[in-house]
Chains A and B, each alone.
Chain A
Amino acid sequence: MSDYAALQIPGPTETALSAPFWQAAAEGKLLIQHCGACDRAVFYPRPLCPHCWADALAWRQASGQGRLASFSEVWKPGHPGWLPVAPFVVGLVGLDEGATMLSHILCSSAPKVGAAVRFRPTEAGGRRLPFFELIA
């Protein structure tokens, strides 16, 4: 996976609100917001819970386990910076906590909808990003 480190790709447009998510990823951890009022996981980061509108969101370390709700093998990337590693797989990861996030999926075999994946922080384009990997 050393190819990824040299990529020249657009990084996240981090905000003060989302900084804990990206900083945790840089440290190899997956942090997801959790609502203390309705007990639901929230992704992407919000100031208030989008499910119940309570002002009760707190960061929690996620298990990093999930399943592919869908995936695509990308042959023609939307951004040219990704060309050196194409084709690659992106997927919708249904986290065990209940929220869904899009991520890059490292695959050593053919992915399938419903397949198990786990958190795999990866050096890409000069930063450590919250990628996932297919559990073979």
Chain B
Amino acid sequence: MRHLTPRAVLAGIGELKPQRRTDGVTTMELLMRVSAEAMADGGISPDEIDGLLVAPQVGEAPQHVPATVAEYFGLQPSMSNMVDLGGASGPGMIWRAAAAIAAGQCETVLCVIGNHRNSPAPRSPNRNPAREFDTPFGASGANTSYALLMQAHMAAYGCKAADYAALAAGSRANAQLNEMAIFYGQPASVEEVLASPMVASPLHLLEIVMPVAGADAVIVTTEERAKAAPHPPVYLLGAGEKITHRVVSQAPDLTSGPLKPSIARALQQAGQSAADMDLLSLYDCYTIMLAATIEDAGLCAPGKFGAWLRDNGGMGPQARQPINTHGGQIGFGQPDLAGGMTHVVEAVRQIRGTAPNRQIRSCKSALVTGNGATMSEAVALVLGANP
């Protein structure tokens, strides 16, 4: 396969502060606010937006989502689409935006994603294999799926519960440097993570993301147009994507996922290695997801993430390779499908050199990952300061 990465720049970013409840606010309102923030950040006016990528969880619009959002925003894009890859949707938007620009269909793409959190949350009306062959046995929701993945990982490699808990504690520590984070002001030690209630063994409560409302937006445009933007450009240097399954019983491998080939492709396109990355902005719906991703990136051998993390000096901005400096979703909160985009937005801040209170000394490159369903939908991006 030939590897051609369309040259594009991530020129504008926006992110709303996570909230546990939104009391009647609609998703469309959140999406519009965060998009305005991204346009202001990038010095891009609404009439310059000619591409629009959205995600499926616009509560108000189960169908015709791009048109509904475009109309609400007063946009008439010449390219629009919905990216439906769970937590990988946000990163998945970035390379699709670059590809659409390279195809000549548009020049400046708004990628926007988010969700409200009004109670009561409606139960899924799904009639798919997950609903038919998991739910009737008492396994509904992501917690049991990731618990099954984690148990298999522990059994295969003998990893200790404290190794996984260290990833949650490190995420919480990073969240203390981010005033936006839902767990700002609430650090958690390894002991506290292990003492938190068991949700689905071996997963403890504090190893699981907190669901929040929120939204993120990123504007992708051409190098030429980005010259007028107020911030230094952040380039998309490589991308990789892979989807292997949907329900955990159909996983081809319980201890390694589709991020492995996705990361390899993204790095190959960028001509870089995982160990070269100044920031690791890795999708972390659960501690096991972060552990498996560190291993799938080839940063250490399978089962060795615990020792690698200790050698790395933890996860903070001073670590050898800082991980999830915004707190990750474990520390920041998971704004539904926008959770994956928080990893893109933080990488842009770090590469620009504008991450408040937590700037890495020299951040010229970042590996960003997104993950959906049951470690089964994967997108990896390499972003950099230089083309």
**Footprint of B on A, CB under 8 Å?**
9-15, 18, 43-44, 69-79, 82, 85, 87-88, 90-92, 100-104, 112-114, 129, 131
Contacts and interface: CB of A to CB of B under 8 A. Distances in A.
B138 A73 contact: no
Contacts of A43: 249
B144 A90 contact: yes
B163 interface: no
B325 to A, nearest CB: 30
Contacts of A113: 151-152, 155-156
A92 B252 CA distance: 13
Contacts of A73: 198, 200-201
Interface stretch (B107-115, B128-136, B270-278, B353-361): B128-136
B144 A79 contact: no
Contacts of B312: none
A76 B143 contact: yes
B197 interface: yes
Contacts of A74: 138-139, 143-144, 147, 199-201
A131 B182 CA distance: 40
B249 A102 contact: yes
Which of B137, B143, B152, B200 has most A Cβ within 10 Å? B137
A10 B254 contact: no
Classify the secondary structure of B's interface with A: helix
Contact of A75 (B155, B199, B249): B199
Contacts, number: 112
Interface in B194-223: 197-203
29 contacts: A9-B136, A10-B135, A13-B131, A15-B132, A44-B132, A44-B133, A69-B152, A69-B254, A71-B148, A72-B202, A72-B203, A73-B198, A74-B143, A75-B197, A75-B199, A76-B199, A79-B135, A87-B198, A90-B137, A90-B148, A92-B152, A92-B249, A100-B250, A102-B133, A102-B148, A102-B247, A102-B248, A102-B249, A129-B136
B149 interface: yes
Interface in B143-163: 143-144, 147-149, 151-152, 155-156
A101 B203 CA distance: 21
Contacts of B362: none
Contact of A70 (B135, B141, B254): B254
Given A12-B133, A13-B132, A44-B129, A71 B151 contact: yes
Nearest to A73: B201
Interface residues of B, number: 34
Interface string B233-265: 000000000000001111000100000000000
Interface centre among A14, A70, A114, by most chain B C-beta atoms within 10 angstroms, is A70
Contacts of A82: 138
Contacts of A70: 148-149, 151-152, 155, 254
B127 interface: yes
A73 to B, nearest CB: 4
Contacts of B140: 10, 77-79
Interface in B39-53: none
B138 A100 contact: no
A82 B134 CA distance: 13
Contacts of A77: 138, 140
Contacts of B197: 75-76
Nearest to A75: B198
Interface string B98-131: 0000000000000000000000000000010101
A77 B142 CA distance: 11
B152 A104 contact: no
Contacts of B131: 10, 13
A72 B148 contact: yes
